[in-house]
Amino acid sequence: MMINRPARPRALISLVPMIDVMLILLVFFMVTSTYLNLDMIPAVKPSKGAAGNIQAPAGTLMIRLGADGVPVMRGTALDGESLRAVLASAVAEEPLTQVVILPSGAAQTQALITVMDSAALADVTRLRVLRLEAAQ
């Protein structure tokens, strides 16, 4: 008498591990990549006849954010309302004014967000936050 065993089913090839690895790689490359400064790429090519009408980039305002969370511009400490007024007047004069915020390493994140919010309420469209690192 012979006992027949049922044949073992073939193992199906699963794509789930490969998808997991691809997602991990995607997240890795997204996190480690650098972003381009999109201001370097001209959005509109000037026409040949409009060479004299090219608008040069405007000036830059620098705001230093100290460890105490008080924004300082041109050596003057400003509160939220006066900062907004100064930024609004600068943007009214020149709409392409760039605002650069240099936060201290000891400054709280809320102070940085408050300065960024003041800039947004003053209609600043070119806002940068720079982090300075010590030379090694």
Q: Give the residue, 8 or 72, on which the prediction is more confident.
A: 72
Going by C-alpha positions, the residue among 58, 68, 45 that lies closest to residue 100 is 58
Residue 12 above 70 pLDDT? yes
Regarding pTM above 0.85, the answer is no
Both tokens of 78, joined, read 């400003």
Instruction: Please compute the mean of the pLDDT values over residues 71-88 and round it to a whole number.
Output: 88
pLDDT above 70 coverage of the chain, percent: 79
pLDDT at 64 over 80: yes
119 CA to centre of own chain: 14
pLDDT of residue 3: 80
Are 61 and 100 within 8 A, CB to CB? yes
